[in-house]
Amino acid sequence: TNQGREIRQSPTDRKKLDGLYECILCACCSTSCPSYWWNSEQYLGPAVLLQSYRWLADSRDEHKGERKAMLDNNMSLYRCHTILNCSRTCPKGLNPGKAIAEIKKAMATA
């Protein structure tokens, strides 16, 4: 572990985080998501999954396995049906739908 020390990141790896950390947690994406309407007790929703992918995409993160394990069930992630209302309604122009797709890909190749 690197507690107390800065972990350097290449410019290429840093660029992968663009569009992930700018979320202002307004919940426009989650409130526009039909899957979240019907399953808000179990489905994490677009805002939370965007933030989850922010950590999974970060080359400095040392807890990817633990994070993926938390998503490995049929409700937390897989209730997304790619309707993409979330991406259309984001006032910051972020793309939670793409982040969710990237998490699904990462889960499939784990």
Taking the C-alpha atoms of residue 52 and residue 88, their distance in angstroms, rounded to an integer, is: 20
DSSP 18: T
Given this model, what pLDDT does residue 70 score? Answer: 94
pTM for this model (two decimals): 0.90
Confidence of residue 2 (pLDDT cuts 50, 70, 90): low
CA distance 60 to 7: 6
For 18-35, the pLDDT digits (tens) are 999 999 999 999 999 999
Confidence check: pLDDT of 1 > 70 = no
DSSP-assigned states of every residue in 73-99 = STTTTTT-----HHHHH-TT---HHHH
Model pLDDT, residue 87:
97
The whole-number pLDDT of residue 32 equals 97
Q: Is the pLDDT of residue 5 over 90?
A: no
Give the rounded percent of residues in the chain with a pLDDT score beyond 90: 91
Q: Could you read off the pLDDT of 46-94 as tens digits, one per residue?
A: 999 999 999 999 999 999 999 999 999 999 999 999 999 999 999 999 9
Tracing tokens 């350097």 back to the chain, one arrives at 8
**pLDDT over 90 (residue 109):** no
- Between the CA atoms of 42, 55, 103 and 94, what dihedral angle is there, to the nearest 10 degrees? 90
